């Protein structure tokens, strides 16, 4: 596999953790990774919310992640960007819907993109929807 694109749409903490871990591991393993953050997931990247650790839908494993102070989803994506070949895109529609600007998000995004742009980026690779 040369290219992996992951669409993060869920606001469930464990889904964000798992997908971000897969993205990071794939990136540091030499796979080109593109992550598209959209819908409910976008609100989970708002700085204010992250600073308060105001996570929605945290299950048993998620509570253990928080208790053990393991790296969180945005940290995992940041590591994947720094140590491998990963780009993270913020969905333009989702940003409009939650009325946020890039400077209000955790600083892991490379750029804002629409769905059609991201589909072009993802073309020819494997796509996972989380």
pLDDT digits (tens, 9 = 90+) for 76-115: 999 999 999 999 999 999 999 999 999 999 999 999 999 9
Q: What angle do CA 31, 36, 39 make, to 5 degrees?
A: 155
Model pLDDT for residues 47-63, shown as the tens digit of each residue:
999 999 888 889 999 99
For 28, phi and psi rounded to 5 degrees?
A: -75, -10
pLDDT at 23 over 80: yes
CATH class of 3-129: alpha beta
User: How much is the pTM?
Assistant: 0.94
User: Where do the domains of the chain lie?
Assistant: 3-129
State pLDDT tens for residues 28-38: 999 999 999 99
Report whether pLDDT(1) > 80: no
Q: Which residue, 52, 41, 40, is CA-closest to 17? A: 41
Confidence check: pLDDT of 69 > 80: yes
**DSSP for residue 15:** H
Closest CA to 51 of 67, 65, 72: 72
């Amino acid at each position: 596999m040369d290219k992996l694109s992951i669409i993060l749409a869920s606001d469930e903490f464990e889904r964000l953790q798992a997908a971000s871990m897969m993205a990071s591991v794939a990136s540091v393993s030499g796979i080109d990774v593109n992550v598209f953050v959209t819908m409910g997931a976008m609100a989970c990247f708002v700085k204010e919310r992250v600073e308060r650790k105001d996570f929605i839908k945290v299950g048993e494993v998620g509570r253990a992640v928080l208790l053990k102070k393991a790296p969180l989803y945005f940290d995992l994506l940041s590591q994947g960007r720094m140590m491998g070949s990963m780009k993270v895109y913020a969905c333009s529609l989702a940003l409009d819907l939650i009325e946020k600007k890039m400077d209000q998000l955790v600083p892991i995004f490379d750029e804002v993109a629409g769905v059609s742009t991201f589909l072009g980026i993802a073309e020819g690779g494997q796509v996972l929807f989380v």
